[in-house]
Amino acid sequence: MQLIFAVHCHQPFGQLETVLDQAVQRAYLPFLSVLERHPEVAVNVHYSGPLLEQLDDRNPRLLEALAGFGRQIEWMGGAMYEPILPAIHPRDRIEHLKRMRATINERFAQDPVTAWIPERVWEPSLVDSLVEAGYTAVPLDDVHFERAGLEHLDRPYLVHHLDQLITAYPISVDLRYAAPREDPVVLIESLRHLHEHDPTAIAVLADDGEKYGLWPGTHSQVYGTDGWLDRFFAAAEAADWVELTTFEQHLSDHPASERTSLPPGSYQEMTEWSDGRWEHFLDRYPEADALYRKMLNASNRAAESKAPAAALTEVLRGQGNDAYWHGAFGGLYLPHLRAETHRRLLAARMAVDEAGRSGRSWVKVHRFDWDADGRDEIHVELPDQSWVLDLDDGAFAYFDDKPSQWMVPDVVAAHVEDYHTDETPSRVHRWLATRTLPIASTPGSLEAIGPDVVTAGPFEVDEVDAGRGSVTLTSTSHGGRVRRVLHAENRTFEISYEIDDLPDCRFGPEFPVGVWRGASSLRVDGGPWQAVDMPLALTGHRFRFRHEGRRKEILIALRQPGELYVLPLTTPNRNESGREEIQQGILLWPHWVRPTGGTHRLTVEVLDVADEPAPAEAEVDSQ
């Protein structure tokens, strides 16, 4: 029988440099050292585009070592920047797939015909894209084949869609779980029954390269004295009834002859995490859906414009899957991954802006169903800012400060996850969501979900002035009538509330700001800076919030006397080392107490830290 050993190595854009360096030192380089000691062993290897590009800067020595193995390493191609292929436009799928082939050809002098499918998320139409990009084989988990009703998982199959064919190899889930837990000699011996039943059988052991050294406890197990990987290769070489081969070699020697079709799906764990389909993550996490819609919009704009090729590259980089979903570890809950994805998509849109417009005085206002929910949103684009206004609650789906390439309210709520015990889900906080709270409320009340916490909305659109970048809305669903006017200009926008008959309450808009723990401070009316590490209730007119990491500030100025509630936003998360608490950001809630009527105004501005306040900052506008 034959055995294919394959590893998939990936680190997303935005990954912490310490994690990337650990992956190199504890997994990638030691793997090659073992492989060098077994020159007769050939393996399949896949390195994602983000990992390759980061290694160019962080560890080019590893890339040189990889190139030195020649045909002992048979490279797999795939999607350049690891998107979920069924979730992006077919034109982008093909671009990813072709770029990966070209990259492997340029770097390692091979033209791969086997494609690694990101997260093994499959749908039948991928056959067409793969064939068009020049691929002839893919490895997919054996559960894909079981769902198709196939009983024999020890052979490849011809998978068809329309008039196209590609060869698909079943990845053994049993082998995937056994390595590197089970003794290598026992693992190899467990394959004997396949050989005895059919000497032409093929078994595929393919999984993340990080499990061989980076996962907790695996480095000493895999590479220590009597290390697992050395013994695995030795056991395979010693078993004269086992032949280690590669996808391309096997495809040449034993072409598939049985035809089938495979239903949509992914590997077993992904199917469980996503309740059946990867797209369900977008329904479960509104923050992921907003990021996804932003990506689709950037892709369409790049395709329709005369933007330079760099714009398309940033779109493709922004399609990497890691920040869009959550499984066993991290993903959507990791702020550094989300921030980098937003930055890439924003860079692409800015390149499109520059190619299609001149000067700095333009405003684009477009009303359409931005998030495909059956209801219109309002998309406002200026040279220095961009946002989408959701009319259901009058909040922003996102707010981008273009000069800093920063999605300012980049926070995620604590959603219900299988590893939670006594935690309850938290509220989804969005930029400009207008809240009312009882007079006796505290900053912690901003996380409460109940009848005493009311969101002002839905809103009716009274007027959209595209020339001035202003939108006028009216809502009557919170016990009174509120007319709200938004006006955007440069890096500032003004909010004006005309209030009629509002019951006694605290009333104002939320401003969540994505910032990590220990990186924020605040001052009121020109007073001293204070750390923001606990809930605060402050009184004043001008509140200046500083993001020390980005060297940016958010200035909130109230025209009428008011208060500011400050609340750190955290989520529980699970990683390879256990549970941890992640700070997603800080919620700023400027508001007025008992604003029963009249007009109330505030302005919000994004500033560079170098923009120091004027000496009269503490003075209050008398209007």
As given in the structure block, the two tokens for residue 76 are: 């797999």
Radius of gyration of the chain (CA): 27
How many whole angstroms separate alpha carbon 491 and alpha carbon 468? 14
- The token pair at 42 is 């050939």
Question: Residue 350 phi/psi, 5° resolution?
Answer: -65, -35
Any idea which residues carry the catalytic annotation? 119, 208
Main-chain phi, psi angles of 197, to 5 degrees? -75, -40
Whether the Cβ atoms of residue 11 and residue 48 lie closer than 8 Å to each other: yes
Query: Which is it for the CA torsion 139, 140, 141, 142, positive or negative?
Result: negative
DSSP 245-280: E-HHHHHHHS----EE---SB--HHHHHHTTTSTTH
What is the rounded CA–CA span in Å between residue 20 and residue 28?
Answer: 10
- What is the spatial distance between Cα 207 and Cα 184, in angstroms, rounded to a whole number? 16
Q: DSSP assignment of 532-588, as one string?
A: --S-EEEEEEEEEEEETTTTEEEEEEEEEEEEEEEEEEEEEEEETTEEEEEEEEEEE
Q: 3-state secondary structure string, 300-314?
A: HHHHHCCCCHHHHHH
Interatomic CA distance for residues 265 and 246, integer angstroms: 25
What is the CA angle 447-448-449, rounded to 5?
120
User: Which residues on neighbouring strands pair with residue 454, listed in sequence order?
Assistant: 436
Grouping H, G, I as helix, E, B as strand and the rest as coil, residue 364 is: strand
How is residue 621 annotated by DSSP? P
Do 247 and 46 contact (CB within 8 A), yes or no? no
Bond preceding residue 613 cis, omega within 30 of 0:
no
Other CB atoms within a 10 A radius of the CB of residue 420 amount to 14
CB 100 within 8 A of CB 65: no
Whether the Cβ atoms of residue 121 and residue 266 lie closer than 8 Å to each other: yes
Tell me which residue of 585, 609, 542 sits closest to 403, measured CA to CA: 609
Query: What would the DSSP string read from start to end of 312-360?
Result: HHHHHHTT-GGGG--SSS-GGG-HHHHHHHHHHHHHHHHHHHHHH--SS
Phi, psi of 549 (to 5 degrees): -65, -45
299 contacts 315 by C-beta, under 8 angstroms: yes
Of 438, 484, 436, the closest CA to residue 461 belongs to 484
